[in-house]
């Protein structure tokens, strides 16, 4: 609707420079420049390389987004920017750019939480999020279960990973299987030709004794080690590693735990809506398994399309739009970038 506020969102927390434009819940532009190819040979994101790439990409990406949306900066009602968590230098580029554009065009600026933006992005595809909802947030740096009572004002963490994030586990297992970085999409692809029941890998923090203290928490480092030991044993025996079967069995173990714990959180809180966000939410098996198992319990699963699950500017614009619509005040112009911003802070 033309009378809804026009919000621009800037994302630079990791290796994607993203600028998105939304009007209300309608996505108008989602421009992205990735430095992933520059990090691939290091097997992980190099912070200094990422910061420099953001510096080079931010202005052209901004221009592309405005052109794609068919608007000018003067038309924009507010600018939202990821203020944390993320890589300090990378965040600074986006925050400085947002402040510059905000001052030049006399617009309010909203510094927002990257993780809350991964939840908010779903509103661009499925409309307003029914609250309360349970959110399963699975990215390269975070794995959490959240109770979302009011996304504009704060979320309640129910549990989180006690070691590796889900995406990190995908990336590390991909590496030991000789697949490129970032490994998640490659494991997803390999797994399609594999047997998910070929190898019984462990499901972390699901034993009865673990559920007492860690009912809503995750652990993936034991799984990663189990995969490494299994692969090493094959190599020592001089046998070929069945990459597709290992990928499928590993992926099945991760998804099994994520889905069961998310649905358990929904049931224990009597919440009928599960929203899944973050890069790992792009995983085809996670999406299918969540749909299937949720249906048995009458729980509705909302997952944005894969392109909106991984980092982008549209998610930041979506959260900014939600904050504006909820009457939340803008940030001060001296807002800091906070690389360790807690999950409970939605906007600064």
**Binding-site sequence positions for substrate:** 137-141, 171, 184, 188, 283
- Choose the binding region for ligand KG4 from 53-61, 87-95, 218-226, 277-285 (rule: CB under 6 A): 277-285
**Shorter beta-carbon distance to ligand KG4: residue 139 or 144:** 139
When the beta carbons of 86 and 320 are compared against ligand KG4, the nearer one is: 86
Residue with tokens 């390269």: 140
Binding flag, residue 94, ligand KG4 (CB under 6 A): no
8 Å CB contact between 78 and 22:
no
Give the per-residue contact string, 269-308, with Zn ion (x = CB under 5 A; - = no): ----------------------------------------
Looking at 196, 278, 304, 347, which residue binds ligand KG4 (CB under 6 A)? 278
On whether the CB atoms of residues 162 and 214 are closer than 8 A, the answer is: yes
Cβ distance to Zn ion smaller for residue 170 or 201: 170
Q: How far apart are CA 29 and CA 64, in angstroms?
A: 9
Q: What is the C-alpha separation between 167 and 184, in angstroms, rounded?
A: 7
| The binder of Zn ion chosen from 61, 139, 161, 249 (CB under 5 A) | 139
For tokens 């953001």, what's the residue? 54
Asked if 182 touches ligand KG4 (CB under 6 A), the answer is yes
Contact between 140 and ligand KG4 per CB under 6 A: yes
Distance, CA of 227 to CA of 201 (rounded, Å): 7
The kind and range of the H/E element at 79 are strand 78-84
DSSP label at 74?
G
The whole-angstrom separation of Cα 184 and Cα 142 is 14
Of ligand KG4, Zn ion, none, which one sits near residue 171, judging by CB under 5 to 8 A according to partner kind?
Answer: ligand KG4
- The token duo for 103 is 């001052």
Residue 144 binds ligand KG4, judged by CB under 6 A: no
The span of 21-29, 181-189, 290-298, 327-335 binding ligand KG4 (CB under 6 A) equals: 181-189
Q: How many CA atoms lie within 13 A of 173 on its CB side?
A: 38
Q: Which residues are near ligand KG4 by CB under 6 A?
A: 14, 139-141, 167, 170-171, 182-185, 188, 278-280, 282-283, 310-311
């Amino acid at each position: 609707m033309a009378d809804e506020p026009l919000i621009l969102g800037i994302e630079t927390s990791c290796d994607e420079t993203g600028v998105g434009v939304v009007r209300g819940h309608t996505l108008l532009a989602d421009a992205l420049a990735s430095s992933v190819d520059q990090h691939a040979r290091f097997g992980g994101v190099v912070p200094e390389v990422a910061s420099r790439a953001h510096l080079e990409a931010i202005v052209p990406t901004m221009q592309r987004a405005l052109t794609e949306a068919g608007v000018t900066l003067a038309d924009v009602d507010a600018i939202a920017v990821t203020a944390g968590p993320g890589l300090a230098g990378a965040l600074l580029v986006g925050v400085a750019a947002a402040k510059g554009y905000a001052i030049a065009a006399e617009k309010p600026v909203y510094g927002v939480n990257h993780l809350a933006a991964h939840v908010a992005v779903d509103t661009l595809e499925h409309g307003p999020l029914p609250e309360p909802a349970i959110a399963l947030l699975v990215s390269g740096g975070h794995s959490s279960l959240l109770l979302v009572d009011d996304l504009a004002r704060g979320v309640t963490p129910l549990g989180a990973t006690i070691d590796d994030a889900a995406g990190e586990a995908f990336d590390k297992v991909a590496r030991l299987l000789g697949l490129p970085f970032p490994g998640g999409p490659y494991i997803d692809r390999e797994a399609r030709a594999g047997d998910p029941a070929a190898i019984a890998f462990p499901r972390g923090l699901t034993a009865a004794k673990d559920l007492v203290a860690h009912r809503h928490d995750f652990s993936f480092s034991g799984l990663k080690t189990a995969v490494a030991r299994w692969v090493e044993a094959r190599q020592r025996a001089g046998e070929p590693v069945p990459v597709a079967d290992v990928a499928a069995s590993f992926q099945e173990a991760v998804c099994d735990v994520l889905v069961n714990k998310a649905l358990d959180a929904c049931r224990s809180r009597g919440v009928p809506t599960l929203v899944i966000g973050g890069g790992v939410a792009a995983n085809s098996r996670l999406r299918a398994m969540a749909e299937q198992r949720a249906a048995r319990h009458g729980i509705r699963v909302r997952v944005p399309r894969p392109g909106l699950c991984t980092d982008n500017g549209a998610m930041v614009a979506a959260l900014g739009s939600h904050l504006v619509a909820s009457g939340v005040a803008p940030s001060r112009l001296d807002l800091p970038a906070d690389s360790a911003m807690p999950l409970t802070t939605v906007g600064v």
